[in-house]
Amino acid sequence: MPNVPLIDRDATTGTVKEQLDQITSTFGVVPAMFRAVANSPAALTSMWGSFGAFGSGTLGAALGEQIAVAVANRNSCEYCLAAHTALGKKAGLSRDTLAAAQDGESDDPKTAALLEFALKLVDDRGQLGPADVQAVREFGWSDDEIVETIGQVALNLFTNYVNIALDVPVDFPTVPLRRAG
The amino acid at residue 49 is G
User: What value does the mean pLDDT take over residues 163-181?
Assistant: 90
- Res 131: pLDDT: 97
- Calculate what percentage of the chain has a pLDDT beyond 90: 96
One domain for residues 29 and 93: no
One domain for residues 49 and 65: no
Is residue 111 within 8 A of residue 79, CB to CB? The reply is no
- Res 1: pLDDT: 84
- Res 180: pLDDT: 63
- Does the pLDDT at position 30 exceed 70? yes
Mean pLDDT for all residues in the chain: 96
Q: Is residue 142 part of a domain?
A: yes
One domain for residues 43 and 116: no
One domain for residues 123 and 40: no
- Does the pLDDT at position 85 exceed 70? yes
One domain for residues 93 and 131: yes
Q: Is residue 34 part of a domain?
A: yes
- Does the pLDDT at position 84 exceed 90? yes
User: What value does the mean pLDDT take over residues 26-39?
Assistant: 96
One domain for residues 81 and 126: yes
Long-range contacts of range 34-37, CB-CB < 8 Å, 24 or more positions apart? 35/6, 35/7, 35/8, 35/9, 36/2, 36/4, 36/6, 36/7, 36/162, 36/163, 36/166, 36/168, 37/162
Residues 6+ apart with CB under 8 A from 7: 16, 20, 35, 36, 38, 39
Q: Is residue 49 part of a domain?
A: yes
Q: Is residue 15 part of a domain?
A: yes
* CATH number, residue 147: 1.20.1290.10
Q: Is residue 4 part of a domain?
A: no
- Does the pLDDT at position 179 exceed 90? no
One domain for residues 140 and 88: yes
Q: Is residue 30 part of a domain?
A: yes
Number of domains comprising the chain: 2
- Res 150: pLDDT: 98
One domain for residues 50 and 126: no
Q: Is residue 174 part of a domain?
A: no
One domain for residues 25 and 72: no
Q: Is residue 113 part of a domain?
A: yes
One domain for residues 74 and 135: yes
User: What value does the mean pLDDT take over residues 58-70?
Assistant: 97
- Domain region containing 30: 9-55
